[in-house]
Chains A and B, each alone.
Chain A
Amino acid sequence: MSNDWYSDFVNSGFGKSIAGTVGLPPVPRLRRYEPGQPLLSGPALLGTATASGRVAKVVRSLLTDLGVEVHEDPQAPVGGGSSTSKVAAGIVDATGLSSPADLAAIQGFLTPVMRRVGPSGRILVIGDVPGEAGAPSVRAARRALEGLVRSAAKEARYGATVNLVHVADGAENDIESTLRFFLSSRSAFVDGQRLEVGTVPGFAGSSQGVDWDKPLAGRTAVVTGAARGIGATVAKTLRRDGATVICVDVPAAGDALARTANDVGGSALQLDITADHAPATLLDHAQRHGGLDVVVHNAGITRDKLLANQDRDRWNSVIDVNLNAQLAINDALLASDVFHRGGRIVTVSSMAGIAGNRGQTAYGASKAGVIGMVDATAPLLVEKDATINAVAPGFIETDMTAAMPVGTREAGRRLSSMTQGGLPIDVAETIAWFAQGASYAVNGQVLRVDGQNYLGA
């Protein structure tokens, strides 16, 4: 399966001893989600920065309901062990900061946590939304968390992640699916990132009665570009989580598409999404399944050329597939009852759309355009209690990356906090979380799934 020979080597018995002796960077094996897996594999430390923190009690209630051992003192002995025993997670409620001076409490909590968090552990900082603060000192303190988290993520080892969630004022009871995502191994390759919850006003939904083993039960999803690669994995992941999946790809990829559709017990729709009739055909097909709850815009193409050598046809084909087709389908979804109330649109942007990539002006433009589309569409979807979010993958191990020159590929893998490429499942897990009904308060977000790749901020 793995074509990452370096990772295989440093994880072998002999390789480990060599790597330890000469100082080769280790490549941690990441814990990934399997159905039935507990949210955390061990105890959690839960700290509060200020007395006015508003999320700690929500977090505590979730963890204790799940039977997780929770301690407030970061030096507490855990699991019958000592004050240095490993923990699975360190969570800090950083809401209610009034000035940068309050940051010291966070440092005081996280310093021992950084030493105690185990392999594939989770450090999660939960703060207020900087833009909601008026006073410069408050906003400075809130914004400071981002630099703290991004830096700590670069220090965390053995597959541990450090992420930041900004919770809008009043949304503290709407964070359960987000907490579950960032604390679980579903977020294995999400590191050093920031996400906002509840920042698009007017959201509505509930986590009541959710079957967290099948969070997509009863929902119908469409996945474009589902024949192979990340799209096929997304289809399987949505199915695993309970959805009925309509698999879409171009007619020429129909044989692989049929395999994916049959693997997930869904249906296959051979469709060129850039065709004028594509939105109507898609909605028509969805009626077979009683309508649509989730649309995953995964289909994308690259036609890489240096800008100096680019031509109009290649340029247009990238913009058409990666951007125009999504815009046209979204318009149709907004106008149609076939796209149900409480629907979810999830689209795939890219690291190249954030940081840019040599030879990828068209691709980078299309993927940055996707982010603009998400920004503008999010408020439009509120009236349908729907959301739109984007995942921005970094270096993900696919057939495409396997064909890269060795130097480029190794740089893509190693120049990240995880010192490895991600897997299609990492992208799929993020999409599946956005797709949950319980993620109703997560709207207009772009989340990088890149192991904190050093390309782009």
Chain B
Amino acid sequence: MPSAPSSPRRAAIVGANRIPFARSNGAYARASNQDMLTAALDGLVARFGLAGERLGEVASGAVLKHSRDFNLTREAVLGSRLSAATPTYDLQQACGTSLQTTLQVANKIALGQIESGVASGVDTTSDAPIEVNDDLRRVLLAANRAKSTAGVVKALAGLRPGQIVPEIPANKEPRTGMSMGEHAAQTAAAWGISRTAQDEITVASHQHLAAAYDRGFFDDLLTPYLGLTKDNNLRADSTLEGLAKLKPVFRPAGYPDTEATMTAANSTPLTDGAATVLLASDEWAAERNLPVLAHFVDAETAAVDYVHGDEGLLMAPTYAVPRLLERNGLTLQDFDFYEFHEAFASTILATFAAWEDPIFCKERLGLDGPLGTFDKTKLNVAGSSLATGHPFAATGARIVPTLAKLLHEKSQRDGTAGRGLISICAAGGQGVVAILEA
């Protein structure tokens, strides 16, 4: 048993497994979060021969979660082929969930607290929890508290027809009542993001993902599930002309003169899926002759005041990245790959625009000059969320291994080290960004 190192070591990304992502109410309509997470874990166990092994921990989480799933990750591990002695916990940070679980597991490995761990995330919008509304809930709880039959009858006398309407989880911010798409449409309008630029990002995402599948990139990152062998949101034949025909779906409130630009194609669809990443110390990997694809270098989480502070809901990564760069003595241009979660094509374009804007960089980010631009041919080269779909909590654990494998391929090919940047925006005005190296 190695002792805790005096200075932190870097956690290794050994490999990964996810199930194909499925558009909502489709292939995985009857699969629960626990089903999907268990399947993804079992695929990971099989890939790395971990049946019966006790890992340091499994950290996972879901955004849309039934109350009975309070111990979702633990239940999934108990149903998986991992040793039941593997501890777990649930974590939830909206779309940043599984980049945050990666950060947690990586940090524990870095500190020598654990030697191995799985970071993951899962989400279903098909098997979503439906609750009774607050009125009905209060009546039922009052009836439950009543100590006499008369009391129960009295409490139930408060029942009204309107209480039958259930609470269905909605993709909207509790403090603004606006959907995420409506928020993003405002940001796009504020930054003057064009429809064409968004559609170009979208087409590139689909084409890159299709090419990655064609070259077998996902053969050791993915295991089929319930008849799906690929993400079923993928449209390999997507073209700018085709996308131009779609009607916008989100209007930017407060920008009456601005054309709506966000469509069902350049916004991510509701998606079901699960993803896992295996992290470990270099020693743990070496003992098992397992590969090290890349190392987890550093990460930063930011939050913005989108309620009162005049900042876009999904703009937190714009703040997180410069802080991460400064801490690591890097510039925005110092990366070989850029993996930006495409919540909406407009979101990453607004982020890029902000970094090129001297006023924003000075006033909001406190920088001397603009962060600048970077070579966009290095952006999402194996496709991203617009093509794969976006099961909220699973996206980080999709992106981390994608980047790790890209870096590994580069180092195998060129014999040179590489570095990549990950950026994920999240509901609630938060964002998680990270650096990997190989």
Contact = CB atoms under 8 A, between A and B. Distances in A.
B219 A251 contact: yes
Contacts of A261: 46, 49, 51
Given A251-B224, A265-B51, A288-B290, A257 B219 contact: no
Contacts of A268: 43, 46-47, 223
Contacts of B81: 262
A258 B219 contact: no
Mostly helix, strand, loop or mixed at chain A's interface? helix
Interface of B: 39, 42-43, 45-49, 51-52, 81, 216, 218-220, 222-225, 229, 288-290
A258 B223 contact: yes
Nearest to A251: B219
Contact of A262 (B42, B222, B290): B42
11 contacts: A252-B229, A258-B46, A259-B46, A262-B45, A266-B49, A267-B47, A268-B223, A269-B220, A275-B216, A288-B288, A288-B290
Contacts of B225: 255
A255 B290 contact: no
A270 interface: yes
A324 to B, nearest CB: 18
B39 A255 contact: yes
Interface in A208-267: 247, 251-255, 257-259, 261-262, 265-267
Contact of B289 (A257, A259, A272, A287): A287
Interface string A267-280: 11111100100000
Contacts of A290: 289
A292 B45 CA distance: 21
B20 to A, nearest CB: 10
Contact of A252 (B42, B48, B224): B224
A255 B223 contact: yes
A255 B43 contact: yes
A289 interface: yes
Given A270-B47, A290-B289, 10 more contacts: A252-B229, A255-B224, A255-B225, A259-B42, A261-B46, A265-B52, A267-B47, A268-B47, A270-B219, A272-B216
A266 B50 CA distance: 8
Contact of A254 (B45, B51, B216, B224): B224
B21 to A, nearest CB: 15
Max count, chain B CB within 10 A of own CB: residue among A268, A271, A272: A268
Interface in A321-368: none
B318 to A, nearest CB: 37
A269 B290 CA distance: 13
Nearest to A267: B49
Given A251-B216, A290-B289, A270 B49 contact: no
Nearest to B223: A254
B12 to A, nearest CB: 15
Contacts of B216: 251, 272, 275
A319 to B, nearest CB: 21
A19 B293 CA distance: 65
A287 B288 CA distance: 10
Contacts of B49: 261, 265-267, 288-289
A451 B49 CA distance: 36
A257 B39 CA distance: 12
A267 B224 contact: no
A288 B289 contact: yes
A268 B218 CA distance: 14
A261 B225 CA distance: 16
B46 A253 contact: no
B193 to A, nearest CB: 37
Contacts of B229: 251-252, 254
Contact of B46 (A252, A267, A288, A289): A267
A269 B47 CA distance: 6
Contacts of A266: 49, 51
Which 10 A-B pairs have CB atoms at the shortest separation, nearest pair first? Answer: A267-B49, A258-B46, A268-B46, A261-B46, A254-B223, A288-B289, A262-B81, A265-B51, A252-B229, A258-B43
Contacts of B46: 247, 257-259, 261-262, 267-268
Q: Which one of B43, B46, B225 has the highest number of Cβ atoms from chain A below 10 Å of its Cβ?
A: B46
A261 B43 CA distance: 9
A259 B39 CA distance: 10
A268 B46 CA distance: 5
B243 to A, nearest CB: 29
Nearest to A275: B216
A270 B15 CA distance: 14
A303 B367 CA distance: 65
Contacts of B224: 251-255
Contacts of B43: 254-255, 258, 268
A255 B43 CA distance: 7
A197 to B, nearest CB: 35
A287 B334 CA distance: 34
A192 to B, nearest CB: 40
A251 to B, nearest CB: 5
A275 B224 CA distance: 19
Contacts of B289: 287-290
Contacts of A262: 42, 45-46, 51, 81
Contact of B48 (A247, A267, A270): A267
Interface string A281-325: 000000111100000000000000000000000000000000000
Contacts of A267: 46-49
Nearest to A245: B49
A251 B221 CA distance: 10
A221 to B, nearest CB: 13
A68 to B, nearest CB: 38
A113 B48 CA distance: 53
Nearest to B226: A255
Given A262-B81, A267-B47, A267-B48, A254 B222 contact: yes
